Each structure stands twice: as C-alpha cells, then as structure tokens.
C-alpha cells in the first residue's frame, strides 16, 4: 500500500450505496420527466428499497469498514431490514395520494429514499461523526417531507417547528459529542468505551446527558416530545405514517448502539437517565392522549407512550432488555403501519378526515376495516394474546429481572390508563350511530392493513422465531 491509498471492502455497504446511487438516478428521471412521473417514481422507489433489502439479507457481508466508522453486524442488519420495510410500506401507502393531492410530487419518494439512507447510516454508525452525519441527513429529508405540501399553512408550520426544534436537539447532541471527544480523546465508539472503562470524569457524564437528550428528541421521548403532536397533525397524513414508523426504529437503534456500544461501562450513569425518560414518556403518553379528538394527535401521544415502554427494556441494561426492545420495535413498526393504513382510508369524497368521531359506526359501513382496526387498537393497548401484549411483556420482564420494580409497576399502570383511549376508539366504531361511509379502501392500503392485522392477531404463531431473531441480534452487544 503506497501512502495516500486505502482500500475498503465496499460489499459491506452495498445496500447503502444502492440507495445513494438509486436516489440520484431517480432525481435525474424526475427532473427530466417532471411532475407527471410522480406515480411511477413511487413504484421505482419501492422497487429500489426492496432490492436494497434483498441485497442486505442475501449477499451483503458483515464487517467493519471506512476506518471503523461503519459497522454491519446482526443487530444492524435486523434494524436496517425493519427501517427498509417501514419506508417501503410508507411509500406504497402514499401511492394513492401521488396523483390527486397537492403534495403528490416526484421529490417525495426520493426524499424518503434519502432519509432511509440516513437512517441506515445511523444504525450502522460506530463513530460520533458517522452518527451525526446519518442523523442530520435523515432529519433534513424529514423536515422537507413535513412541509412538502407548501400551500398548507399547517404543513409549513409543522415543517418549521420540526426544523427549529430538530436543530436545537442537534446542537445539544453536538455539544455532548464535543464533551465526550474532549474527555476521552476518541470519536470511535470502541475508543470511547475503552477510555471510559477505567474511571469516568464529570465531563464525560455531562457529555452522556447532552447526547442522550439530543437522541431523546429524535425518538420523541418526554420531556423532549413537544414537537411530536404538532408535526404529526400538521404534516400530510402519508408523511405522518412515514414519520411514525421507520425514523423511530432508527433513532432507537442508534440509542441502543450508543448506550451499549460507546457507553457500556457507564451503564450506571445512563440507566437512571433512560429510566426517567421511560417513566415520563409512559405517563405523558397515557394521560395526554385522553383529551385528543384528532386521530393523528392521538397517534402522536401513543407513539410517545410506546417509546417510553421500549425505553423500559433499554433501562434494564441486560441482554434480555435489548432483545425486548428489539421485539418491541418490530411489533410497534407493524402495528403503526397498519393503524396509519386505516387513518389513510378515512377518506370521503371531499378529502381526508381526521376526527375520531368520524369513525363512528365503522363496524356497519366497513366491517373488515373495523375488525382489523379493533385488533390493532387492542394490540396497542396491550391486551393478550395480541402482539402488543407480548411486546410489553418482554420489556417488563427484563425490567423485573433487572430489579427495576418501580419502573415495571409504573409501566403497567400507564398501560392501563392508556388502554382507555384505545378502547374509546373501539367503542366509537362498534356502538355509535354510523355516519356516511368512507370511499372504498385503496388496494395498497388493504395490503398493508391485512399484513399488519394478521401479524397482530396471530403473533403467537411467529413469536418463537421473532424472539430468537431478536435474541441473536441483542447478543451483538454482550
């Protein structure tokens, strides 16, 4: 090797390269064919992401490349697969809106592809710089996606709010990173972990606090959740469906890698922070959602609560805890996509409706949709034997095993309070007088809802394989 040259095994990063090159090709096609290509762009983008997922599963090897900044291990591959799945379904669900809505623009699928690329880099980041670059790339694409319907005042407000608060959180994250780098002398996670092994200085703990606060913004954990309801409500519904699924998984995966990778020796310090975030999020998610009448706002508080439950598993600090979080993320992703398929189907002749009361009597006008949505609501509330119950069961089990009894008890209580507003939707659907029905559900929404509903109801059948996959991925850190 002569000086100035360096070789990387690019095969490790093939899925990322596919998305990067594919996004640029899509951009070229879009720029030359114009707005009329919006629908075909959706199809090509879905094919691109699906191809990247196939390559990720079948050919991409595991390894560490780019001077230890980019790692692909079992955990990263599983999380990337989830993110790719979430993005694919999110683009597919916005297909029907590409033509007749004012936000049907060819740039939207490209932005989703680029955001997905950012998320994959976040998941694979083994270095502070890579982490920040991935995060910023994902966030920038999301800010634009939130405001993509620029004729709508609420969408523009949502985009601006997201941007300002996101920039603030990035500032906190960067400040934390600078403290970590200053006190440990490393940007690489392995180096940071090694430097922290002996003794920890106060500055390192400050860095951990600032970094976790910055990441908590991204997973919308209370008390850093303020942007979530407004952005969810203001952004166009297909965009909200995307926001609620894949970015949450990516940010949570990043949090796991930061806490268990870089800060593994500082577990005693970050555990209390995570436990506080978990308690605050669970309680806020349970109580603040009660008064909501807009279903998108309700889902925003619901997602805050669910991130709180997932953080319970993270706070446990054990392998069971991490595998619990992974199972939670898998189930959360699928439930959320299914619920948003229903929300996107709440459409009358004159457009989308978002009020919960619009669902009244759904069981008589659209029995199948009502049945599936009921299953999803029971699952979100955590009622056995549906998927959502098992998700909560594994994180609480991990918390109890780690002797975090207070956390587990508060979690169960918050889950009971939260059940109220999920059950209220079920009551509205089955026992209220029907309103005029919605327009028939588009086939891509039926597909997503069907897959999600069947998974939720028959989770016990696949529970064994899912658990073993999650355990295998969690073993990466232990």
Partner 1 sequence: MNVVGLFFYLFSAICVASAFMVIASRNPVHSVLFLILAFFNAAGLFMLMGAEFLALILIVVYVGAVAVLFLFVVMMLDVDFAELRQGVLQYLPIGGVIGIVLLVELVLVLGGLSITPEGADLVVQPIPDMAETSNIQAIGDLLYTKYVFFFQMAGLILLVAMIGAIVLTLSHRSDVKRQNTATQIGRDPATAVTLHDVKPGEGI
Binding region for partner 1 (CB under 8 A): 3-6, 8, 20, 24, 27, 65-67, 69-70, 105, 107, 110-111, 114, 117, 121, 129-130, 133-134, 136-137, 140-141, 143-144, 147-148, 150, 159, 183, 185, 201-203, 206
> Please, which residues have CB within 8 angstroms of residue 32's CB and are 6 or more apart in sequence?
none
Output the smallest distance, CB 344 to partner 1, in A. Answer: 22
Of 5 and 436, nearer to partner 1 (C-beta) is 5
Output the smallest distance, CB 98 to partner 1, in A. Answer: 14
Output the smallest distance, CB 99 to partner 1, in A. Answer: 18
Residue 270 φ then ψ, to 5°: -80, -20
Of 83 and 299, nearer to partner 1 (C-beta) is 83
Of 1 and 268, nearer to partner 1 (C-beta) is 1
Output the smallest distance, CB 280 to partner 1, in A. Answer: 19
Of 257 and 347, nearer to partner 1 (C-beta) is 257
Of 115 and 426, nearer to partner 1 (C-beta) is 115
Output the smallest distance, CB 105 to partner 1, in A. Answer: 7
Of 11 and 454, nearer to partner 1 (C-beta) is 11
Output the smallest distance, CB 347 to partner 1, in A. Answer: 24
Output the smallest distance, CB 205 to partner 1, in A. Answer: 9
Output the smallest distance, CB 83 to partner 1, in A. Answer: 17
Output the smallest distance, CB 69 to partner 1, in A. Answer: 6
Of 148 and 342, nearer to partner 1 (C-beta) is 148
Residue 471 φ then ψ, to 5°: -65, -40
């Amino acid at each position: 090797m002569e000086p100035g040259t360096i070789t990387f095994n690019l095969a490790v990063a093939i899925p990322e390269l596919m998305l990067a090159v594919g996004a640029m090709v899509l951009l070229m096609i879009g720029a030359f064919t114009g707005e009329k290509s919006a629908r075909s762009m959706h199809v090509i983008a879905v094919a691109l992401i699906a191809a990247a997922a196939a390559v990720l599963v079948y050919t991409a090897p595991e390894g560490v490349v780019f001077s230890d900044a980019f790692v692909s291990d079992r955990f990263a591959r599983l999380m990337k697969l989830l993110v790719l799945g979430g993005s694919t379904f999110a683009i597919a669900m916005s297909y029907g809106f590409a033509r007749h809505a004012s936000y049907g623009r060819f740039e939207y699928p490209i932005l989703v592809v680029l955001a997905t690329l950012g998320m994959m880099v976040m998941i694979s980041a083994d270095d502070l710089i890579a982490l920040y670059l991935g995060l910023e790339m994902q966030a920038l694409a999301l800010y634009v996606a939130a405001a993509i319907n620029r004729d709508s005042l609420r969408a523009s407000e949502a985009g601006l709010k997201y941007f300002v608060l996101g920039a603030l959180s990035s500032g906190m994250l960067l400040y934390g990173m600078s403290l970590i780098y200053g006190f440990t002398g490393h940007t690489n996670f392995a180096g940071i972990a090694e430097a922290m092994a002996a003794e920890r200085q106060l500055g390192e703990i400050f860095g951990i606090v600032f970094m976790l606060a910055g990441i908590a913004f991204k997973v919308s954990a209370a008390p850093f959740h303020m942007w979530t309801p407004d952005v969810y409500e203001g952004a166009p519904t297909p965009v909200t469906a995307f926001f609620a699924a894949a970015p949450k998984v990516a940010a949570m995966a990043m949090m796991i890698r930061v806490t268990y990778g870089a800060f593994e020796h500082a577990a005693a310090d970050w555990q209390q922070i995570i436990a506080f975030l978990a308690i605050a999020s669970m309680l806020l998610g349970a109580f603040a959602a009660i008064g909501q009448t807009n279903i998108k706002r309700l889902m925003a508080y619901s997602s805050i609560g669910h991130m709180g439950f997932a953080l319970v598993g993270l706070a446990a600090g054990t392998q069971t805890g991490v595998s619990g979080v992974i199972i939670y993320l898998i189930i959360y992703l699928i439930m959320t996509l299914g619920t948003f398929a229903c929300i996107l189907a709440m459409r009358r002749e004159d457009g989308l409706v978002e009020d919960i009361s619009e669902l009244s009597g759904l069981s008589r006008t659209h029995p199948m949709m009502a049945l599936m949505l009921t299953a999803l609501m029971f699952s979100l509330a955590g009622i056995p034997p549906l998927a959502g119950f098992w998700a909560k069961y594994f994180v609480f089990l991990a918390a109890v095993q780690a002797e975090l009894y207070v956390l587990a008890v508060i979690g169960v209580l918050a889950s009971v309070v939260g059940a109220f507003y999920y059950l209220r939707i079920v009551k509205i659907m089955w026992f209220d007088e029907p309103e005029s029905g919605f327009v028939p559900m588009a086939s891509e929404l039926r597909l997503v809802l069907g897959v999600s509903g069947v998974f939720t109801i028959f989770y016990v059948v696949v529970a064994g394989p899912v658990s073993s996959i999650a355990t295998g991925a969690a073993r990466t850190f232990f």
